[in-house]
Structure 1
Amino acid sequence: MSVILILGGYGGFGARLSRRLAARGHRILVAGRHRDKAVAFCDAVPNCHPVVADRDGDLAAVLAEHRPDLLIDAAGPFQTSGYHVIEACIAAGVDYLDLADGRAFVAGIGTLDVAARRACTIAISGASSVPALSGAVVRDLAVGMEQIMSVEMAISASNRAAAGASVAAAILSYAGKPLTVWRGQRRARAFGWQEIGQERFVLDDGTTLGHRLVALADVPDLELLPERLPGKPAVSFRAGTELAVQNVTLWLASWLVRWRWIGSLSALAPWLLPLQRRMAGWGSDRSGMVVRLFGLAGGKRVERRWTLIASAGDGPEIPTLAAELLAERIVAKELAPGAGDAGPMLALEDFAPAFAGLAIRHETRQIAQPAPLYQRVMGDTFARLPDEVRRMHEVLRDGGAHGRATVERGTHPLARLVGALMGFPRAGEHELHVGFREDQGVERWTRTFSAQSFHSNLGEEAGQIVERFGPLRFHFDLPGDEQGLTMVMRSWSIWRIPLPLALAPRTMAREWEEDGKFQFDVPIALPLIGPVIHYRGWLTPDAE
């Protein structure tokens, strides 16, 4: 019988993990700051024994006294934690495991690998829904895919699965703060608990959670997955609770941090938990998780989707399953010494027995994706385009290209005003990056000239390309051949109100291939005013 010490062993996830491992016959030391809570928990659970321990205190004495085979940190939060607990375990020769979801904490654990190997100990971080389960799902979906353009994940928790203090503190610590994401084949800036939107959780038999709001969460997968998948795909992870009012309230509050009106929402933590407890009777007992991969499989554009729906209040068990599986392997001496994250350590099939014992259903499906936007508009002509021109327009969910551009700006005062309002770049030579984001057939192009960006959305209407800048819409035909393509404006509007073509901007954008690169030339002028901007240059896909 192994001895396992669990920090936070009577808390939300820690209590569930303590019960699971105790039921497997291990001697569980349920540790925390409050002895009375540990005693009350252990009185009701066989094989559990109370221990007073503070994860921020002197753990060396606790480890020396109880000599556990394994320490599991289920306390957190890990977003602001150092590695003192792991270092104490390595110094004492005790194996270590945690349920961390702190991005920097989990991604940086490899810095302790040498020390762990020398001490013949194991240190694993992130044995939870992320990155352990999410990593297992992603690898399962990725089998047979030649290239992956985007990984998109979301979790929605049942309202009755009230978040513990550490979970609430973790979310509030990054809400509204800048975080780094991999998009458009480069690092970009986003903001915690923003980009709020709806996610649909549904199984093939019609079982569904409906549409739930989720927002951007800062998790280890954002750092780990791009480097581990073919094509170095964009990665996003969004999370939320079941009740829309909770998500919207937190989203609104996150703007106070983004606008720098306040430094952090962490001060709200003491108010958040009592408020959630008062709302605990609302909503349902069902949670969901979805993982989507977009890419090429057998040369075809596909989405591979894994969906999980948990009922009967079993959703909160999911974050403990990876820790249970890895704890068994650690105490059975099945793992080699060293320190690393749990992302690559489990397969999806490893979770099957645990899922079967819970009110959990999950399934995987593959969904064919439509042809690229330009191909849908151009039809058979698209195949005749030069290779580099065609490749630049084969956007599936995410992409990026880099190159150089020369920009000329009009000198008329009104031309300068229009250029400023549109956010056009200054005149001169520029490093250029174009990020592509595709969603439901609409492409968002973000053009960054040196450090200055502007963007537009491109879609399809009535067999034409429609480029939208705010309320302005420009309709183009796309004549093309082996030499390249041209964008010919046919109409324009504002808020969909047609405007006279005689007053439209004058433009004849061209794209072609030269020296093995995608070349472009985009002049824009206005009647009576003259040139507004003229930019030309070359691009090559970032994936190369």
Structure 2
Amino acid sequence: MSGERLSLLIIGGYGTFGGRLAQLLGEEPRLRLLIAGRSLEKADDFVADLRSPKGGAGRLGGNDLGARLQAVAFDRDGDLAEQLTRLKPDLVVDASGPFQSFTRDAYKVVQACIDLDIDYADLADSTGFVAGIGALDAQAKAKGVFALSGLSSLPALSFAALEAMAPHFSRIESVSAGIAPSAHVKIGLNVVKAIASYAGRPVALLREGRPASGSGLIDDIRVTIAPPDVAPLASRKFLLVDAPDLALLPSRLAGLQSTFTGVGTEPQALQRLLSAAARLVRLRLLPSLLPFARLLQRASHRFAIGDHRGGMFVRAGGIDGEGRKLSCSWHLIAEGDDGPFIPVIGVEALVRRLLEGKRPESGARPAAGELSLKDFEAAFRRFSITSGIRLEREEEPLPLYRRILGSAWQKLPPALAAIHAGGARTASGRARIERGRGLIARLVALAIGFPPAGDDVPVTVRFAAEGDTEIWTRTFGNRNFRSWQAEGKGRDQHLLVEVFGPFRVVLALVPEENRLRLVVRGWRFFGLPLPLFLAPDGETYEEERDGRFHFHVEIGGRLTGLVVRYAGWLVVEE
């Protein structure tokens, strides 16, 4: 320690991730933060902004009693021993990069820290850099310092999620992971350079238990990121990226058969163009995409189309303790601008551990497994970040809503759980019905068979299960109408699909306290996809009140106006 404060040098401290780390730690009075980079002027400007009431520290509740901030110049190609000796940090965090470009003397910063008895951590996402740091392990142990590489989303957070899922398995056979940044987040140039460096290049992974070679930004998988408690992200393809997990997983998991790490960006059309460019590299029609990194960055900023939400997933497949096939997946969604804080949360957790006197073991190693998922989840609570785990056993059919909700099923009030318990059942109650008066609304209601308007109308709902599908037959007074519901597949994975006559509506199930909201995420007419902005809207939810299941369904749209609104209560018959 330097005096009464832990002195932390952040290389790249005013950059995309280093700056966010400074924001997270800026309120901590036990820290001395050295915001470092080649440009002292940029470091000064960043520190001034951080100290201002509208700065990053203020966003998280910082004040004048927070960390001691200092802008410093630091050149990783300069005299490292002289710079580190003069600055006297207790911990160096390298948040610069791209680490893929560190070839000659790649570990010179790490080596300088070890030589001067300074602890080290970084946000590296380069497979070679992270996996290779172990060569300095003996030196670090001899000096009594630690050097942790890859204390970021991949591999620190991905391994934490994998370890949280591991107890469900007797053997893990496949692991895939991916990051889906929000289209509205400004991606840093170093991140783009890192991705461009392996576009169209061979990427080492596992297939059928053997070392194999994939193609960067060409090979893909489709995944829907869907934490149990929030509406999922739009289904998307994830393109293969070279991440440390691919090198680290085979030595950690005996019997592992396949691996994949990917990135899924929005809009997907722009990602398809990026993949096409990567194919030109693979065909040797282009030497590399690195010269186009700045152009790619500008394109990502210009075409910021889609929801302002980002996410991440880790998916494992294998055998459970009873010998059954099991698929387990961890999902995360970050709202708005909170996503880019995720890669630095691991470093923040490390620093707060150090402030509590809890040091990692000495030695140089990848940061995979260094932190637990609970460490990350504690930090998620400061943001609009939701995460959760889903389990799927092939031989264990579950009720429809339970399959879609995953672990969020446990949070449903008893009355809602009883309605969605699965199997053949009947519920009855009373309802109030309103009908739209427009011509198109009346025609739609007639096509589907919605009941006429009425107050205190007797209602009965009969549920019948046919395979993975539920058929709902609703009787309002003497009028019946039917729909069938099923779990979405492919693009509609983790969503509820409900079919009314010629209309197929895709819904997200979103738990909120004692309420379950149904949010339209897509629709089709006779199988033809229709624009989402024309989809049926209105507030639709289920909730428990006075021990009863209550429903509120509102169907309308821009073209139709109100079609039908019905609300009431049901009790499951014994």
TM-score for both structures, normalised by structure 1:
0.66
Q: Counterparts of 1:52 and 1:36 in 2: how far apart (Å)? A: 9
Q: What is the number of equivalent residue pairs in this alignment?
A: 370
1:349 corresponds in structure 2 to: 374
The corresponding residue for 2:13 is 9
Q: Give me the whole-angstrom Cα distance separating, in 1, the residues matched to 2:301 and 2:224.
A: 26
Looking at structure 2, the residues matched to 206 and 128 of structure 1 have their Cα atoms a distance apart, in angstroms, of: 24
Q: CA deviation at 1:197?
A: 4.0
The code of the aligned residue for 1:31 comes to: A
- Structure 1 equivalent of residue 24 of structure 2: 20
User: 1:151 aligned to 2:175?
Assistant: yes
**Conservation of the 8 A alpha-carbon contact between 1:202 and 1:210:** no
Alignment of 1:133-212 (within 5 A): 133-205=157-229, 207-212=231-236
| 3-state SS of paired residue (1:143) | helix
Paired residues of 1:257 and 1:263 also in contact (CA < 8 A): yes
One-letter amino acid matched to 1:351: F
Residue 274 (structure 1) shift: 2.6
Quote how far apart the aligned CAs of 1:205 are. Answer: 4.7
Change (3 A) 1:206 1:128: closer
Report the residue type matching 1:255 in the other structure: R
CA-to-aligned-CA distance 1:12-63 (integer Å, 9 cap, x gap): 1110001112222211100011122111110122432111112233222210
User: Partners in 2 of 1:293 and 1:333 — Cα distance?
Assistant: 31
Contact 2:121 2:148 in 1 (8 A): yes
User: Which amino acid counterpart does residue 173 of structure 1 have in structure 2?
Assistant: S
* Aligned 8 A contact 1:209 1:288 in 2: yes
Task: Report SS of the residue matched to 2:171.
Answer: strand
The residue aligned with 2:57 is: none
Cα distance in 2 for partners of 1:333, 1:134 equals 22
TM-score by length of 2: 0.63
Q: Hey, what's the Cα distance between the residues in 1 that align with 2:362 and 2:243?
A: 25
Q: Assess if the C-alpha contact under 8 Å between 1:148 and 1:231 holds in 2.
A: yes
Q: How does 1:318-333 map to 2 (within 5 A)?
A: 318-330=342-354, 332=357
Match of 1:31 among 13, 33, 36: 36
Aligned 8 A contact 2:172 2:317 in 1: yes
Distance 2:338 2:383 in 1: 6
CA offsets per residue over residues 394-413 of structure 1, 9 Å max, x none? xxxxxxxxxxxxxxxxxxxx
| Alignment partner of 1:287 out of 310, 317, 333 | 310
Distance 2:77 2:207 in 1: 36
SS in 1 for 2:306: coil
Distance 1:168 1:330, change over 3 A: same
Please report the RMSD computed on the Cα atoms of aligned residues, expressed in angstroms: 1.6
- 2:227–2:389 Cα contact (<8 Å) kept: no
Unaligned 5+ segments in structure 2 are 52-67, 397-574
The code of the aligned residue for 2:293 comes to A
**1:279 and 1:176 mapped to 2: Cα distance?**
23
Percentage of pairs with the same residue: 40
SS at match of 1:45: helix
* CA distance in structure 1 between the aligned counterparts of 2:338 and 2:240, rounded to whole angstroms: 24
Alignment of 1:121-520 (within 5 A): 121-205=145-229, 207-280=231-304, 282-297=305-320, 298-330=322-354, 332=357, 334-369=359-394
Unaligned runs of 5+ in 1: 372-544
> How big is the shift at 1:227?
1.6
Q: Distance in 1 between matches of 2:79 and 2:354?
A: 24
Contact 1:196/1:251 (<8 A) preserved: no
Structure 1 residue matching 2:26: 3-state secondary structure: helix
Q: d(CA) in 2 for partners of 1:128 and 1:42? A: 23
CA offsets, 1:454-491, max 9 Å, x none? xxxxxxxxxxxxxxxxxxxxxxxxxxxxxxxxxxxxxx
Aligned-partner Cα distance in 2 for 1:333–1:140 = 22
Whether 1:76 and 2:119 are equivalent positions in the alignment is no
CA contact (8 A) 2:169 2:326 kept: no
1:188 offset after TM fit, Å?
A: 0.6
CA pair 206-49 structure 1, distance change in 2 beyond 3 A: closer
Where 1:209 maps in the other structure, the secondary structure is coil
Q: Could you give the per-residue CA deviations for residues 388-429 of structure 1, whole angstroms, max 9, x where no partner exists?
A: xxxxxxxxxxxxxxxxxxxxxxxxxxxxxxxxxxxxxxxxxx
Give the CA deviation at 1:349. 1.0
Aligned 8 A contact 1:146 1:230 in 2 = no
CA distance in 2, matches of 1:42, 1:206: 36
